[in-house]
Amino acid sequence: MRRIRISYQVVTEASAEIGDYAETGWDNEEGVCTDPDDCDVEFADSEIDAVVACALSVIGSGCEASDYPRCYPGHTWYTEVDGDTDYSDGAVTTRSFHLDGYSEEEERAIYTRITGRVDCAMGGIR
């Protein structure tokens, strides 16, 4: 089963001064299942395209890779660039998306779609 686990990080003015998070934890430690069904695969150009589309439906856009400019399958996660700001106290909450159960090829395809770069192991960098 492919799933995406979602963590969060909160930065406050005080925690930013010491270069740390005020709070971290899991929004969804169990994870969201992202296995494509037959309709997803039929609608996509290929099974891997269906896998990527299902993953991106959870991750969304506006994320950066943890290990840009290289993908390290099993060790790459994606974090929102712009978090949610609590305007009452200035705290900013961002979410990170952790892939679980994906093949190396699938992780590299997700990486390419999110970053716009082809990893060196996939035949060069664009």
DSSP notation for 49-61: HHHHHHHHHHH-S
pLDDT at 119: 61
pLDDT at 121: 54
Q: How many residues appear in the chain?
A: 126
pLDDT at 126: 37
Cis peptide leading into 69, omega within 30 of 0?
yes
Helices (H) and strands (E) in the chain, counts: 4, 6
pLDDT at 51: 96
pLDDT means per 10 residues, the chain with 126 residues, are 98 96 97 92 91 96 88 92 95 97 95 82 44
